[in-house]
Amino acid sequence: MTPLLEVRGLARHYRVRRPGGLWGRTAVLKAVDGVSFAIGRGRTLGLVGESGCGKSTAARLALGLLPATSGDVLFDGQPLSTRQDAAWRASRRKLQLVFQDTLGALDRRLPIGLQIMEPLDIHGIGTRAERLEKTKDLFTAVGLLPHMFDRYPHELSGGQRQRVVLARALVAQPALIACDEPISALDVSIQAQVINLLHDLREQFGVAYLFISHDLRVVRQVSDEVAVMYLGRIVEQGTPDRLFRQPEHPYTRALVSAIPVATPNRARQRIILKGDPPSPVDVPAGCAFHPRCALAGPRCRVETPALRSMPGGHRVACHLAGETAAAA
C-alpha cells in the first residue's frame, strides 16, 4: 500500500561562515543528511533526539516548506512541490504544521473563531455559512466552549491556545499534521489533555501525525513507530515497544536510560554520555556518534554505519547492531 508520506534520502545543507574563521572561510552545515521514512494514513511517526539534531528541519522538508538540497518527498505517491504554485497550495491544505509557540502561531488581533475559519476562507471551501458551521463543530471537537469564539489568543490559557492551533490545522481536513514539540510549553496536567485530544482527533478524523518531541515518554505513548535522530541522521527506527524495550544503538540506549521509571526500586542504570553533541559544521568522520560512544572501535572512526534492517523491520545505524543489545 502506498504510504501517505514518504521521504527518501532527504538532505538540507547550508553554507555558513565558519565560527572564528578569517577571510570569509565557509563550511557546510548538514542540518539533515540523508533521512528516509514513511508514514501511513492515520499513523503516527515519533521523531526524537537532542536539540539541534535536525528534527524540525526534517519536518519542514517533509512538508515541502523548505527546499531540499537532495532527496525526494512523495505525498500520496506523487512528488511534493516546493515551488509556490497551485500544486503547492493544494498540498498546504493536506499537510499542516503545529508549533510549540502558540502565541507566536496565532494573530493577537483576530478573534480565535475567525482564525480557525481562516484556512477555509483562503482555500475557498464552502459558503460563509458552511464555513461558520464547520468552525463551530470543530470548536466542540477540540473541547473549546462556544462563548470563546470571539476571544483573543491572550485571553486563553496555553492549553486552550493549543486547542485553537489544532482546530485551525484540522479545519481544512488535512491528511497529516506535523506537531513540533506541541506540548513542551504546557503544564503536565494540560499535556495529558492535549495528548488525549490528539488521540481522539486521530480516531475521529483519521489524520496522521509526524510527532516531534524530546520527551521520550510522550513519544512512546503516541507513536506507532519511532525514529531517533542524531546530527541530522536517523540512527534507529522501530516500533515503540521494540525500541524502548530493547534499544540497539548506544545513543538510543542512553536516551532510554534517562527516562524516569515509576517504580524507584526497579530504576534502570543511567548511561551518561561523554561531552556535548559535535557541531553539525564539524561532523566527526566515520560514525558521527563515535566521540561519545563507549563502544567505539577503530572501524567506527573511519566508516559511517549504514541504517541496516534488522528482524521485525527494526533499523539501526551501528556497526555493532545485533551485538549491542546482547552486550547491554
Residues that bind ligand SF4 (CB under 6 A): 249-250, 287, 289-290, 293, 295-296, 300, 305, 318-320
Is the CB of 217 or the CB of 301 nearer to ligand SF4? 301
CA-nearest of 142, 155, 172, 171 to 108 is 155
45's enclosing H/E stretch is strand 44-48
In the complex with ligand SF4, the residue whose CB is nearer, 49 or 182, is 49
CB of 279 to ligand SF4, least distance (A): 18
**Residue 313 Cβ vs ligand SF4, minimum distance, rounded to whole Å:** 20
| Size (the chain), residues | 328
Least Å distance between CB 269 and ligand SF4? 18
Measured from the CB of residue 287, what is the shortest distance to ligand SF4 in angstroms?
A: 3
**CB nearer to ligand SF4: pick between 194 and 300:** 300
Counts for the chain of helices (H) and strands (E), in that order: 11, 12
**117 or 320: CB nearest ligand SF4:** 320
Instruction: Please check whether residue 106 is in contact with residue 112, taking contact to mean a CB–CB distance below 8 angstroms.
Output: yes
Q: Which is nearer to ligand SF4, 145 or 306 (CB)?
A: 306
- To ligand SF4, the closest distance from the beta carbon of 54 in angstroms equals 17
Spatial distance between the Cα atoms of 19 and 252, rounded to a whole number of angstroms: 30
Q: How many CB atoms lie within 10 A of CB 85?
A: 9
Q: Which is nearer to ligand SF4, 75 or 289 (CB)?
A: 289
Q: 178 has which bridge partners?
A: 97, 210
Task: Tell me the pairing of strands 308-309 and 225-230.
Answer: unpaired
Query: In whole angstroms, how close is the CB of 249 to ligand SF4 at the nearest point?
Result: 6
Task: Of 214, 194, 204, 196, give the one whose Cα is nearest residue 170.
Answer: 204
d(CA 116, CA 168): 4
Which residues 6+ apart lie within 8 Å of 264 measured at CB?
A: none
